[in-house]
Amino acid sequence: MKFNIKYPPLIEQSYSFMIAAGIKATKDAVYRNMVASDLIDENGNPTQKAIDEGLIEVAGDDLIKQFKATNPVISSIPNQHFKVQNGRVLMDCYAVKAAATTVLNDPTATPEQHDSAQHLLDQVNNLDHNEWH
């Protein structure tokens, strides 16, 4: 039986970053390492030490940072690939492709997530790459 454990956003972000970078890891190992390193507490919240030392950034009112915090699969994509328009965060084709590729390379992603990512990748390949989505 496979359990679908919901990890805190900082764990998901770190895990997604590692997968995108080609580093093999498990979410459990990432969680244990971040707690042991005093980056987060047992509940997945950043420690004051991690914030003070600039190791973990708090989003505040920045819509792009908030968007990336709630969508860990895009957390490692540079901010230049995002913009805010009418209160919505938009992504360029590079960001959409990077997010879809990260999901496709994630061994823990479900078949439905793989299918959605492949469909998104197929769609973005047919778009004008100068547009925002």
Residue-wise pLDDT for 50-108, tens only, equals 888 888 777 778 899 888 877 878 888 999 999 999 889 999 989 999 999 989 988 88
Q: What pLDDT is attached to residue 78? A: 93
Of 95, 102, 101, nearest to 132 (Cα)?
Answer: 95
Task: Give the chain's end-to-end CA distance (angstroms, integer).
Answer: 38
Q: What pLDDT is attached to residue 128? A: 66
Q: What pLDDT is attached to residue 83? A: 94
φ, ψ at 115 (rounded to 5°): -60, -45
> Are 132 and 118 spatial neighbours (Cβ–Cβ below 8 Å)?
no
Place of tokens 């496709």: 104
pLDDT in tens, 21-44: 788 888 999 999 999 999 989 988
